[in-house]
Structure 1
Amino acid sequence: MKNVYKSIKNGFILIALILSTSCSDSFFDVNENPNDPPVSTPGLTLPVAQNTFASLNGTTMTYLGNMVMYNWATPSNWSANGQLFRYQFTNSFNNSVFTTPYGSIFKDLTYIQGYEDPTGAVDYTAYKVIAQVIKGFQYQYLVDLYGDVPFTEANKRAENTTPKYDDSETIYKSVIDSLTIYSEKALNLPEIAENPESSDIIFGGNMEQWIQFANTIKLRMLIRLSNTGQDAYIKQQIDLINANGMGYITEDVVANPNYSKDTNKQSPFWNYAGYNTSDAEQDRHDYTVASDYTIDYLTTTNDPRIGYLYSASEDGGEFKGVWQSTELPGEGFTSGDLSKIGVGLLKSFDQDQPIMLLSEALFLQAEAVVRGYLPGGAGEAQDLYEKAITASFDYLGVAESPSDYYNQNIPNVSWNASTDKIQAIIVQKWIALNGTSSIESWMEWVRTGFPNNLPTPDDSDGVRPVRLLYPTSEYSTNGDNVPPSSINDAFTKYPFWKQ
C-alpha cells in the first residue's frame, strides 16, 4: 500500500491545510458539527471517520484482544491492567468500544450516506459504498462483543435519541445483505460518480479493493455462522460473493493518512504502545510485555516470528515472558527483564495502521474450503493455509523462510501433521493476529475454543470472558431499550452464533 500512499500524499497535505484553518490539533477534525453541509462534504468527512475507525480498532480493541488472548502481560514494576487480569468486565469497562462507533464513526458515515450535492453535479455513490463497508465491519464486532445493539433506529441524531436494540442475528444478516447490495453499487457506479481518491485513507479510491474488502468481511461473518446449522444460507451467500467476480483482499488492509511525527498525527498503534513525538517511551510500551505461555509456544514450535512479535529483554537479551497477574515477584520480572512488543509490530511513527491482514483473509478461505463452502479439496486448503502463514511472515518482516517453519512435523504448524484442520487454522490465526487484530482471535476462541489450552490470569476465577457489557451511559440515556445484564453475562452469555 505504500505506493498508493505516496501517490496521494500531496492530496492529504492539502486536506490538512484546509482543515487547519478551523480545526483543533486532531488529525482530521472537520468541525464540531461535521453534519452541516455548508461546512463539511463527504470528501472532508470520510477521512475523519476512517481515521477514527482505524484508531479504535488499532489501539483500544487491539490491546483488549491481546490481553484476553494471553499474548501480553504486565511486569512487576507496574500496577497497570489490574482490571483486565481480574476479568472485571463491568459496565464501565472499555466503554469506547461501544461509544466511539455510535458517537463518532457511525455519525460521520451516516452523514456521508445522507449527503446529496445541492447542485446535482456530483454523485457520491462511491463514498456511500465505503461508508457502508466500514459500518458492516464495525457492526459485526458490536454484535460479536455485545449481542443486540441499536441498528435500525441508530444514527438518527435528534430524530431519535433513544434507539431500540435490534436482534443480533437480524443485524448480522442485514449487514451481510448490505455488503452484497453496496458491492453491486460499486460495480455499477454512475458516470458522474466522484472517486474518493485522496479522501480515502485506506484504498485511495480503488473501488475494486473496497469490493474485495466487503467480500472478505462478509466471508468472516458467514464463517461465524458455521456452527448454527445454516450451511445452505452460507453457501447461497458465498455464491453471491463469487458472482461479483472480485474475490477477496489480496493484500493487508491498512489506513495511512500520511502519518507524521507530530502531535496527534503519529500512527495510532505506534503512539499508543510505542513512543511519543520526542522518541520517549510511552508508559504502555514499558508495562506491556510478553506472556510466558506465548513465548514458550513460539519457542517450542521453532517459530522465527518470536523475534518480530517480541523484542529480546533489555537486561538479559533473551525472549522471556511472564504470567498474567497483579502480584509478581520483583526480581527477574521487571520490564527490563522481559520481552516487550517487537519490531514487526512497532515499525515507525508513520507505519500503516492495520485493519485486516491478508493472513486472516487466507485463513478464512482455508476454513471455508475445509467446511465445503468454497470449492477445492485438501490440497487447496493446505495451499491457502501455507499462504496465510507466509503473509504473516511478510507483514512482520520476518527474514527466515516460512516453508522451513510450516514444513516441520508439528501439529498445528504443519498441515499434514495436524489431525484437526480447523484447530490448526485457528491456532495459526492466533499467532498471525498477535499484536494487531487480536480482538478477532478472541472471537474465534469464543467460536471454536482454540487455542484450547490458553491459561487465564492468576487473579481471575479461571473463566475467560466471552463478551463485553453495555456501557453505564446506555442505561442512563436509553434505559428503556438497553437489554438488562449482569456481571455474569460477560462469562456466560455467548453470541447468537455460538451454538
Structure 2
Amino acid sequence: MKNINKFLILFLAGIFTVSCEDNLDINTDPNFPEEINAGLALTSAEGALASVVGGEFMNIGGFYAQYHTQSPSASQFENIDSYNLNTTYANTPWTILYAGVLNDLKFVSAESTEAGDTATLLIAEVLRGYTFHYLVDLFGDVPYTEALQNGNITPVVTPGEEIYADIITKIDAAVAAYEANPVEAEVGDQDVIFDGDMDKWIQFANTLKLRMYIRMAYTPQADPAAVTALINEGNFITEDVKFDLYTSSANKRNPFYEVFLSQTGLGDVNHIASNTLAGFYNQNNDPRLEAVFRPGTGGTYASIDQGTGNDFNNTAVAYARPNIGPVTPVFLMTVSESNFLQAEALIRYSGGTGAKEKYDAGVTASFATYSEYFGLTGESAADYIGAGDVYEYQTGGTVEGTVRQVIIQKWAALAYVNNIEAYIEATRTKFPEVVETGTQDYAEGNRIPSAISILPGTTIPSILFYPDDEVTRNPNITQHSTLTQKVWWDQKPE
C-alpha cells in the first residue's frame, strides 16, 4: 500500500506540472477554489480513478477472474489468492475514491454549475457515476446521499439499488442540461480522457448506463424498455475509454506496472499466468495468449492451476506474466465490452436478433485493442468467428446458454484491460463457472477454487470488506460478516 500511495502522490504531481501554469503551488489542498480550477481538479480525479482501476483493482480482479495466480517462491498476495482478505485491505482504494476522486468531482461540479458550464458538469457526473457504481459493485451499500457533506464524518449507507437508480437519473439530467444549452467544455484538454469532446462523453454516458442496466438483468429492477431504447438509439462508444497520460519515468508509469511489476515496486515476482485463462487461450489456439502475457524462461508461456504456487519451486520468470508496460493505458471501458453488452441485451430483450453481429464485433474489437496496445500479431479475429471456427456464435440455445458465449468472450477480452470488470461480471453471471478441481474444461472456460482457498467447496468471494478505517470511525457502517455476502444485483438463481 505504501507503494500505491507513493505512486499516486508523485504521479498526480506530474499531472499538475503538465496541466497547469508553472507557478501553481501543488502543495495546497486541491479542493479550495482559490488555489485550483475545475480543469486541474478534473485531471486529478481522472488520474486518481485510473490509479485504482488500473492498480489495486487490476491486481485483485486478476486473482478473482483467474487471469493470474501467486507465483512460487513468493507470497505477497497469498491472502488474495486464498480468499483470506482482512478488513484493512481496502483502506487505500476506498480513500482514494472518496477523498480523492469523488471530492475532486464535487468541486468540479460546483464550479461548473456556477459557471453555467453544462459540458464539464456532464463530464463530472459521468465520472461520478462510474466511481460510485464500482463502489457498489465491490462493497455493496455505501455512503452516497450523505457522502462528502461538509462536517458529516458518519454518513449513512444507501442501498445499492437506490444508488444505481440515482446515478442513472443524474446522468440523464446532466445530458439533458447539456443538450438544452450545449457549451464548449471550459476544461478543454485538461480532460485527458476525451479532451472535452462532448459527443464522446455522451457516448460514454450511454455505454455506462447500458452496463448498469445489464448488471440489473437478474433483479426485479431489470428494465428491458430502457435497454431497448438505448440499443435503438445506438449511440455508444466508438473508441476505447482510456487514461493514457503515462510516461517511462518512475512514478509516472502505468499504476500496475509501477507498483507490482517494476523494480522500484514489488519487482515482477508475484504474478504468473493461471491455467484458467492461459488454458483457455492455449486450447483454442488463441493468439491473445502472447499479447496478454509475456513469456517466461525460454520463450514459453507456462502457467499453473489457481493457487498451486506452493507446489512448485520455480521463480516467476519461469512462467508467463502480465504484459503490462510503463505506458500501457488504463482502460475504463472498451469498444469490445460495449459490443458484448449490446449482444447480451439483444439476447435477453430482443429475441437475439442482431446479437451475432454484436458478438462478432466484440471479438473483433478485442483483437484490435490487443493489437494496438499489447502487441498482438498473427491471425485476425475473422479467423476465429467464422462458420466452423472455434468462437463461432451459436444460435438456438437457451437464453443463458447463448449469453454464456458472450460472457466467456468478454472475460477473454478483459484480461489486463479491465480485470475488475471481468471479476464483477463473473460474479453477476456465474460465467466462467467455478467447478470442482479436476472437472474443469479450460477450453470451454471454467474457473476452479483456488488450491489454497479458505472457503468451502467452489465458493469464491462475491464482495469486499468495508475498510477497517471507515468502519472504526463510522457507526453507520456495519462490517460484512463474510466475503460471500452478495451485492444487490447478484441474484442469478444457482
TM-score w.r.t. length of structure 1? 0.85
1:414 to 2:392 alignment: yes
Report the CA distance between 1:474 and its aligned residue: 1.6
- What is the CA distance between 1:496 and its match in structure 2? 3.8
Partner of 2:192: 201
- Residue type of the partner of 1:202? I
Q: What is the CA-CA distance between 1:435 and the residue it aligns to?
A: 1.3
- How many residues align? The count is 456
1:147 corresponds in structure 2 to 140
Query: Following the alignment from structure 1 to structure 2, what is the Cα–Cα distance between the partners of residues 130 and 363?
Result: 24
Pick one of 354, 359, 363 that aligns with 2:336.
Answer: 359
C-alpha distance 269-485 of structure 1, shift in aligned 2 (>3 A): closer
SS at match of 1:336: helix
Seen in structure 2, the aligned counterparts of structure 1 residues 418 and 97 have a Cα distance that, compared at 3 Å, is: farther
**Structure 2 counterpart SS, 1:365:** helix
Which residue number in structure 2 is paired with residue 446 of structure 1? Answer: 427
- Relative distance call for 1:20 and 1:433 in structure 2 (3 A) is farther
One-letter code aligned to 2:361: K
Distance in 2 (CA, whole Å) between partners of 1:153 and 1:294 is 41
* Residue 56 (structure 2) aligns with: 60
Which residue does the alignment assign to 2:441?
A: none
1:390 maps to what in 2?
364
Whole-angstrom distance in 1 between the partners of 2:281 and 2:463: 27
Once the two structures are superposed, residues 402-430 of structure 1 have per-residue CA deviations (whole angstroms, 9 ceiling, x without a partner) of 1112237467x220278421000011111
Q: CA deviation at 1:281?
A: 7.6
Of 170, 182, 203, the match for 1:212: 203
Task: Give the match's secondary structure for 2:349.
Answer: coil
Alignment of 1:337 with 2:318, yes or no, is yes
Q: CA deviation at 1:252?
A: 0.5
Does the CA contact (< 8 Å) of 2:193 and 2:242 recur in 1? yes
Mapping of residues 23-102 of structure 1, within 5 Å: 23=26, 31-102=27-98
Would the aligned equivalents of 2:122 and 2:178 in 1 still touch at CA under 8 Å?
A: yes
Structure 2 Cα separation of the partners of residues 64 and 199 of structure 1: 30
Are positions 1:306 and 2:284 aligned together? no
8 A Cα contact 1:136 1:175, kept in partner: yes
C-alpha displacement of 1:327: 5.1
2:257 aligned partner: 270
Q: CA deviation digits over 1:312-336, x for unaligned, max 9? A: 212x3211101233752444x4212
Q: Determine the structure 2 residue equivalent to 1:22.
A: 25
- 1:235 corresponding residue in structure 2: 225
Q: State the shift of 1:271 in Å.
A: 2.1
Contact 1:162 1:477 in 2 (8 A): yes
What does 1:370-381 align with in structure 2 at a 5 Å threshold? 370-372=347-349, 378=352, 380-381=354-355
Which residue does the alignment assign to 2:108?
112
How far apart, in 1, do the equivalents of 2:30 and 2:461 lie?
Answer: 37
Structure 1 residue 493 displacement after superposition: 3.1
User: Which residue of the partner structure matches residue 251 of structure 1?
Assistant: 239
Identity of aligned residues (%): 29
Q: Which amino acid aligns with 1:359?
A: S
User: 2:70, 2:271 within 8 Å by CA — same for their partners in 1?
Assistant: yes
- SS in structure 1 of the partner of residue 316 of structure 2: coil
Aligned partner of 1:5 in structure 2 is none
Partner of 1:7: none
For residue 90 of structure 2, give the secondary structure of its aligned residue in structure 1: coil
SS in 1 for 2:484: helix
Structure 1 residues 249 and 323, CA gap change in structure 2 (3 angstroms):
same
Question: Counterparts of 1:206 and 1:267 in 2: how far apart (Å)?
Answer: 24
The one-letter code matched in structure 2 to 1:170 is E
Q: Secondary structure at the match of 2:242?
A: strand
SS in 1 for 2:153: coil
Q: Is the 8 A contact 1:298 1:306 kept in 2?
A: yes
Return closer, same or farther for 1:141/1:494 CA change in 2, 3 Å cut-off.
same
| Per-residue deviation, 1:296 | 1.6
Q: What is the identity, as a one-letter code, of the residue corresponding to 2:29? A: N
Q: Is the 8 A contact 2:363 2:381 kept in 1?
A: yes
Take 1:53 and 1:469, find their aligned partners in 2: how far apart are those partners? 20
Closer/same/farther in 2, CA of residues 57 and 116 from structure 1, 3 Å limit: closer
- SS of 1:225's partner is helix
Taking the aligned partners of 2:289 and 2:33, their CA distance within structure 1 comes to 50
Following superposition, the deviation at residue 54 of structure 1 comes to: 1.1
Contact in 1 for aligned 2:237/2:335 (Cα 8 Å): yes
Counterpart code for 1:324? Q
Which residue is equivalent to 2:163?
171
Hey, what does 1:323 align to over in structure 2?
Answer: 305
1:221 pairs with one of 194, 203, 212: 212
